[in-house]
Amino acid sequence: MHQNYHFIKQLAPRLHSELAGKRFVEAFSQQKDELIIMFAEEADGEWNDQPEQQDHPLINPFFIKATLTNSFSCLSFPERFDRARRNSVNLFNDFEGDKVDFVKVCKNERAIQVHFESGRDLIFKLFGNRSNFIALNADGEATQLFNNKLSTDRALTVASLNRDIDQSWKAFVANDGRFEPLFPTFGKVVNKYLAGKLEGKSDLTERWQIVQEVLAELESSVFYITKIENIPALTLFETGEVVQVLHDPIEALNAFYLAYIRLSGLDKEKADIIRLLKKRIQQTDNYLENTFQKLVDLENATKNDELANIIMANLHIIPERAEKVELYDFYRDQPITIKLKKDLSAQKNAEGYYRKAKNEKIEIDRLNDSLAAREADRKRLQEHLTHIEVIEMLRDLRAYIKANKLEQGSAAPTIDDLFKRLDFMGYTILIGRNAKNSDLLTKQAHKEDLWLHAKDVTGSHVVVKNQPGRKFPAPVIERAAELAAFYSKRKNDSLCPVIVTPKKFIRKPKGLPDGLVLIDKEDIVMVVAKGE
């Protein structure tokens, strides 16, 4: 939260008290992602724009150090900073000697405006790994960026960085008691904290009171240096392992910065892998909960085979072309209304429900298998987590991560693991191993890949990987079609029709059984089935 708006809102006035009336002395960079800015008061006498040629010594210098790497972005305020004689570059030279008029936070934005008497501004844009320092001239136009790669920052203005948001009780009511639209400045950490306090509270007045209490807590000038999952954090409320409590935002930012940069390599890498494992465990828990609920709903619902049996027992009383009928449910000893397809006879409707029952059983079996597999995954992840938490050597940690292929959170299956593969004339042909696996193959295929399937029968999906700028050669299409025929129910036919189409013409509507798709456009080739 060191870049949370509600912290920056308290930091800006503190910076104003330090900088107002001081002059910009110099800004320089000694490392690619580091900027140092020095401000100071001048002693009696005329200010000289060349710091090294000042007639009188600078007094009350104030340093701002900005660390702006891809993985960590933070301001700090060292008491002194000795500039190296080599490998340092002057920046923002136009501001040298300019006096600071005021410092303030941009309204509802993670940015600080430093305004100078000349009418120019220096904007501290504190957007995580997109943080930047932007110089604006007196006309409000960007003239220099610290990080030139963030080229869109040239379009930023003071006006665009100040957002008016209706945060009134009336707006809260209009949003049905949802605080997120009113306070986009809270961020993920505060949102989670506030959501916990609001859980189970439905009365809007009570919810509004809680929001206001949290808002007051965020701006109470109490700053906590804590450890969350072994990584130092600056928070505006008590959470994690509290290490230090401070009441000055500059001191708090310095304490956080020092705690972070003092992390050992072991601490950082351990924290990263622990965070990754915990995320995967949470994702697994969510999947287990949702899948278990699906299973409960399926098992508690009226079974399709029961509906079919009820229809078969009452064939003689079901009128033709009926869209629904009320019959006696002898399973539950009560009436039941059953939907029918009016174009089908009662017996055909029963057969339809029997087919659904078969698919229903397959779905229940699939969900049970999936639950068992995911529970095994969760157990394995928890074992990894328990083992890693007690590792004390960086070398051992890296060896364990590598041995168990945890870099991506789990051993990522390769294409060869997932699908059958054949290379032919420089093209890769992939074949689904079963209906579910074929669905995965089709889902992962690029829209310009070639998709093949034996016509009107069950069989594997076959995909030929596209090579940009090249047409699929006829022999490649024929070979892929032979494989599609071979891995289908037409394997023993003398000649097999095979659908050939770009994958972009394949759709998989929700609820369609494994392996089934809809085809919007197709060509047919006739081939003899032939395996690898």
- pLDDT per residue as tens digits for the range 227-273: 887 788 999 999 888 999 999 999 999 999 998 888 767 888 888 88
Q: What is the reported pTM?
A: 0.58
Dist CA 413 CA 402 (whole Å): 15
Calpha distance 220→331 (Å, rounded): 64
b/e map 235-258, b = 16+ CB within 10 Å? bbbeebeeeeebeebbebbbbbbe
Overall average pLDDT of the 40-46 stretch: 70
Both 312 and 358 in one domain: the answer is yes
Q: What burial letters (b/e) apply to 185-198, b meaning 16+ CB within 10 Å?
A: bbeebbeebbeeeb
Residue at 36 is within a domain: yes
Question: CB under 8 Å, gap of 24 or more: what pairs does 440-449 form?
Answer: 442/503, 442/506, 442/508, 442/517, 443/508, 445/503, 446/503, 447/502, 447/503, 447/504, 448/502, 448/503, 448/504, 449/502, 449/503
| Rg of the chain taking only CA atoms, in angstroms | 33
- Report if residue 39 sits inside a domain: yes
Instruction: Establish if 63 belongs to a structural domain.
Output: yes
> Which of 199, 231, 264 is the last residue in one of the domains?
264
Among 106, 131, 155, the domain boundary falls at 155
The number of domains in the chain is 4
Give dist(CA 225, CA 243) in Å, integer.
6
Checking if the pLDDT of 139 tops 60, the result is: yes
Question: What's the rounded Cα separation, in Å, for the pair 368 and 164?
Answer: 52
Residue 20's pLDDT is: 95
Summarised one tens digit per residue, pLDDT across range 199-219 is: 999 999 999 999 999 999 999
For residue 255, being part of any structural domain is answered with yes
Residue 384 and residue 320 in one domain: yes
Using alpha carbons, select from 25, 175, 202 the residue that is nearest to residue 96. 25
Residues 310 and 364 in one domain: yes
Q: Are residues 63 and 37 in contact, defined by beta-carbon separation less than 8 angstroms?
A: yes
Judge if 84 and 126 occupy the same domain.
yes
Q: Which of 403, 431, 451 is where one domain is finished?
A: 403
CATH code of the domain containing 140: 2.30.310.10
pLDDT of residue 286: 87
Whether residue 378 is found in the same domain as residue 445: no
pLDDT at res. 417: 52
Which residue from 234, 251, 238 is spatially nearest to 126, judged by alpha carbons? 234
457 vs 370: which has the higher pLDDT: 457
Clarify whether residues 467 and 523 are in a common domain.
yes
C-alpha distances (whole Å) from 251 to each of 24, 40, 226, 240, 313 are 22, 19, 14, 20, 81
pLDDT band at residue 408 using 50, 70 and 90 as cut-offs: low
**Together in a domain, 462 and 503:** yes
Q: How confident is the model at residue 470 (pLDDT cuts 50, 70, 90)?
A: confident
Q: In what helix (H) or strand (E) does residue 47 lie, and over which residues does it extend?
A: none
Q: Which residue is listed with tokens 């570059």?
A: 89
Question: What's the CA gap between 453 and 487, in Å, rounded?
Answer: 9
- Are 391 and 450 in a shared domain? no
Confidence at residue 48, expressed as pLDDT on a 0 to 100 scale: 57
Evaluate if residue 455 carries a pLDDT over 70. yes
- pLDDT at 50 (0 to 100): 54
Using pLDDT thresholds of 50, 70 and 90, give the confidence band for residue 412. Answer: very low
Say whether both 319 and 399 belong to one domain: yes
Residue 465, C-beta contacts closer than 8 angstroms, at least 6 positions apart: 427, 428, 429, 430, 446, 449
Answer whether residue 104 is part of any domain: yes
**Domain, as residue range, for 200:** 169-264
Residue 148 corresponds to which tokens in the numbers above? 């030139």
Q: Is 276 inside any structural domain?
A: no
The reply to whether 298 and 378 lie within a common domain is yes
Same domain, 376 and 423: no
Both 71 and 145 in one domain: the answer is: yes
pLDDT tens digit sequence for 490-529? 888 889 999 999 999 999 988 888 889 999 999 999 999 9
- Kindly report, residue by residue over 323-381, the tens digit of the pLDDT: 999 999 898 899 999 999 988 999 999 998 888 887 777 667 767 877 887 888 899 99
pLDDT given at position 46 = 57
Is residue 411 scored above 50 in pLDDT?
A: no
How many Å apart are CA 465 and CA 7, to the nearest integer? 51
* Residue 273 covered by a domain: no
Rounded Cα distance, 266 and 274, in Å: 12
Strand, helix or coil for residue 344? coil
Which residue bears the tokens 């605080």? 179
Assess if residue 283 is contained within a domain. no
